[in-house]
Amino acid sequence: MIKAFENYEVWFVTGAQLLYGGDAVVQVDGHSKEMVEGLNNSGRLPVKVVYKGTANSSKEVADIFAQANNEKKCIGVITWMHTFSPAKMWIHGLQILHKPLLHLHTQFNEEIPWDTMDMDFMNLNQSAHGDREFGHIISRMRIRRKLVVGYWKDPKTQEHIAVWERVCAAWADSQDMLILRFGDQMNNVAVTDGDKVAAEQVMGYHVDYCPFSEVMKYFNEVKDEDVDALVNVYFSDYDHDAELEDTTTEGYKKVWNAAKAELTLRAVLEDKGAKGFTTNFDDLGDANVEQTGLGFDQIPGLASQRMMAEGYGFGAEGDWKSAALYRSVWVMNQGLQGGCSFLEDYTLNFNGEQSAILQSHMLEVCPLIATARPRLEVHFLGIGIRKSLTARLVFTSKVGKGVTATVVDMGNRFRLIVNDVDCIEPKPLPKLPVASALWIPQPNFEVGAGCWIYAGGTHHSCFSYDLTDEYWQDYAEIAGIECLIINNDTTVDNFRRELRVNEVYYMLNKALC
């Protein structure tokens, strides 16, 4: 359906038992096939569902789940109990299952056939208590899962499954995710750093350092004709002043050099199989680049903007957690229309109930969230090792609802913090030519910003117009990390109480382990 998901599949396993005879098993199998076909034909699920049969014994369950673990295309398992399926037969399979699990509580028939229902029908259609039996053993075994309750043909039910599928795809993608850091953390910042070993253990992705001396090897291999071609793409895809196309001007030179930097970064990432990267604007190669040519003559902001739009994870100033999270946001966002971006809390606008936060960065905001066609511009940037004219895309974001998220390292656990936000119309910034968004954190500035700070949230976050709290709750459930949601239902008192309760829970959990 969507390129990002075409190599993935979700397995569907139906629970039953042989108590009711072979004819019942045949009917269960037929109903299950019809349900899977209906789900796939609904047009709502981004990942294909594959029916893997009816499980009637402990051995059958364990065999199917072992196969799921070993099949790379399988990114998750959906279970449903058509009849009463004794839960002890699921124990060994659940003990070995390493893929995300969704428990679907549904029924093949929509309504009770009041006039014709007999004991045979009752024996066959026992989801009402079969799913409770299965739910009990999952809860007793403390197994993480998503529970979807509703009729399988209902669009709402299918949409909940679709959300989970997208999260499973992002999770699968992160299990072989490599993030390259071009430069280290900057200026002793705490919140953008953390335990890379723990992150790989918990969330799957690997973070490596790539010295700029190695980047220069790729830089020197970039061909001028390839740079020329990319510059022409820039001029075709983005609004710009005509004088930028004058090859004798400093502006053209900066655009050309920005294109060479993009081609360099692409070459490094493609060669190493990386899905994301971080930059450091104090580490761009030789400080005397104008004389030696051994480095980038500007921060690679334009490259970062364009590469984010294509799915590369990005984090500024060495923020590897944001780079990895943005890649996952982009994967979940595939096929949806709103767009997503890495963003930073830039400055505040106090205006009563309309008090808001300007979101931007020096340059690196993804054009997927632009309200109109971006403009390619060149302006002086007076920060970092390269205080010089710098190419960038300038735009403002769409008006609408969205959600932003970040992951922080709390020492004994990772914490996912999520905030629903309302993007509003910004005012012009004639002297600040950057890409930007302006939003009011829900439920309002005071509570939203306050709770984010109470939770230890970062000044960087990963934003999407399309994702919802449900996506992030599913992500945290699969990853087994703490999840804090800030939305219109949040109050400061309740949120602080949740923080205290969570602290006790995770301290006790660590002690018991």
Q: Where are the alpha helices (DSSP H) in 175-284?
A: 196-203, 212-219, 224-237, 250-272
361 labeled part of a ligand binding site: yes
344 labeled part of a ligand binding site: yes
CA distance 201 to 207: 12
3-state secondary structure of 55: strand
Residue pair 369/464 in contact by the 8 Å Cβ criterion: no
460 labeled part of a ligand binding site: yes
CA 2 and chain centroid, separation? 16
Cβ neighbours around 470 below 10 Å, total: 16
Angle 506-507-513 from CA coordinates, rounded to 5°: 85
CB-count exposure of residue 441 (10 Å: 0-12, 13-18, 19+):
buried
CA distance 100 to 65: 11
CB-count exposure of residue 189 (10 Å: 0-12, 13-18, 19+):
middle
Strand-pairing partners, residue 392, are 377
CB-count exposure of residue 440 (10 Å: 0-12, 13-18, 19+):
buried
DSSP-derived letter for residue 294 is: -
453, 457, 463, 469: CA torsion to nearest 10: -80
Q: How far apart are the first and last CA of the chain?
A: 42
Of 293, 318, 358, 324, residue with least CA distance to 475: 324
**Ramachandran assignment for 480, one of left (phi > 0), alpha (psi -120 to 50 degrees), beta (any other):** left
Residue pair 358/349 in contact by the 8 Å Cβ criterion: yes
Of 143, 140, 71, residue with least CA distance to 100: 143
CA distance 270 to 22: 54
Residue pair 300/169 in contact by the 8 Å Cβ criterion: no
Joined together, the tokens standing for residue 54 give 């009816």
136 labeled part of a ligand binding site: no
Query: What is the SS3 string spanning 361-401?
Result: CCCCCCHHHECCCCEEEEEEECCCCCCEEEEEEECEECCEE
227, 233, 235, 236: CA torsion to nearest 10: 160
Phi and psi at 483, nearest 5°, equal -135, 125
Q: To which residue do tokens 């750093």 refer? A: 193
Q: What is the CA radius of gyration of the chain?
A: 26
CA distance 424 to 401: 9
Q: Which residues are annotated as a binding site?
A: 317, 344, 361, 460
Q: Which residues are annotated as a binding site for Mn(2+)?
A: 317, 344, 361, 460
